[in-house]
Structure 1
Amino acid sequence: MSADRIRLVIADDQAMLRGALASLLELEDDLTVVGVAGDGEAAAELVAQTTPDVCLMDIQMPGMDGIAATQAVRAASPDTRVLIVTTFARPGYLRAALDAGASGFIVKDAAVEQLADAVRRVHAGLRVVDPALAEASLFEGANPLSDREQQVLRLAADGRSAAAIASEVFLSAGTVRNNLSAAIGKVDASNRAQAVRIAQDKGWI
């Protein structure tokens, strides 16, 4: 193995996909995969052990998601750059990922040549963002929801009542209802279910 190869860690909860990505990227003369992980916590631990140049990170993974894992990776190995590779091309995810310290954001349906080029550019210190998603992010604006509003909307997604949410987050049912009402207004929805759908579609929760 050449000493100047770019060393990669791949984090994705789908075993077949992370295996395919590893195999495809290994075909590049200047890339080598030093490890793979199936969730965010494992990715952070693996990065701490191997200190790769670039970590390719999925967003939706069990336990620690890719946004939190990006923060953990950057803390564990500040010289490791994070490239988000996800199915979910949502403006809110892009902003959250960049705020967490990611250097790039690319969707999984990109050609392998485009992905390899994104890895090289991120490794070189550049920021790489899917152009269509960057444009959408500019038009959508920042996430309007507070941390608490995001939390209660996530819990409301499965249809649980305000009282049930309140018992989980140690708030009164009235406070939960107020947060839900505020979230509905901020995303311009007519009800709780619609607010959840809008926030999920935009990557705000």
Structure 2
Amino acid sequence: MSIRLLLADDQALVRGALSALLGLEPDLEVVAEVGTGEDAVTAAAEHTPDVALLDVEMPGMDGIAACAAVREASPGTRVLIVTTFGRPGYLRRALQAGAAGFVVKDTPAPQLADAVRRIHQGLRVVDPALATDSLLTGDSPLTARETDVLRAARDGASVAAIAAELFLSEGTVRNHLSAAIGKTGASNRTEAVLVAVGNGWL
């Protein structure tokens, strides 16, 4: 019996390469390839794959949100996050969302195939360097609201625009930004966003 796989990555080239490499393995079969988190959830419900390989950075629903939704749509599907962005915060959030594994995209094909097999057997597979970084970095110090505000500030939006988007007063937005700047050790909100993104907290 082949291990049935779902691949989700917004880059068609990467998706095609992953599919070709994993398809060479006699015991692995790619049953669906999609480019968004939403499509991954639909495909999981339709195909009930054994393992779903999800990228983190996808338009719309990202891979971490998709991980939780895939697990709900197809409870028997185990999720392996395969990402370019090896950020410790991503690892922590992915595991909290129910991922069984987390590896970076430059993992050699035989190791990736092995990770798929181990996850299918019920084991957990985590990139060792990332696991160490995650322990050293710790949980995000930001509250849920501070995270929302920083996320909204990512594209340089004004305090007024952030307040309107999140239905908060401008004073509240300033307070959250100020707290986030303090907690990230940054000197301004742009730096705070960079620190939070770098650690995978956003």
TM interval, short-chain normalised:
over 0.9
> 2:162 pairs with 161, 165, 169, which one?
165
> 1:189 pairs with 166, 186, 189, which one?
186
> 2:200 — aligned with what?
203
**Bigger shift: residues 182-191 or 39-48:** 182-191
Identity of aligned residues (%): 66
Question: Where do residues 1-205 of structure 1 align in structure 2 (5 Å cutoff)?
Answer: 4-205=1-202
CA distance in 2, matches of 1:131, 1:146: 28
Offset, 1:109:
0.6
CA displacement, residues 143-180 of structure 1 (integer Å, 9 cap, x when unaligned)? 11111111111111111111110011111000001111
Offset, 1:189:
1.1
SS of residue paired to 1:8: strand
CA distance in 1, matches of 2:58, 2:143: 23
Offset, 1:110:
0.7
TM-score (normalised: structure 1): 0.97
CA distance in 2, matches of 1:53, 1:153: 36
CA distance in 1, matches of 2:193, 2:166: 18
CA distance in 1, matches of 2:110, 2:161: 48
Unmatched 5+ stretches in structure 1: none
What is the letter of the counterpart of residue 124 of structure 1?
Q
User: Which runs of structure 1 show a deviation greater than 3 angstroms over 4 or more consecutive aligned residues?
Assistant: none
CA distance in 2, matches of 1:25, 1:58: 16
What is the letter of the counterpart of residue 78 of structure 2?
R
CA displacement, residues 123-153 of structure 1 (integer Å, 9 cap, x when unaligned)? 0000100000000000000111111111111
CA distance in 1, matches of 2:48, 2:104: 24
Offset, 1:190:
1.3
What is the letter of the counterpart of residue 95 of structure 1?
R
CA distance in 2, matches of 1:158, 1:58: 22
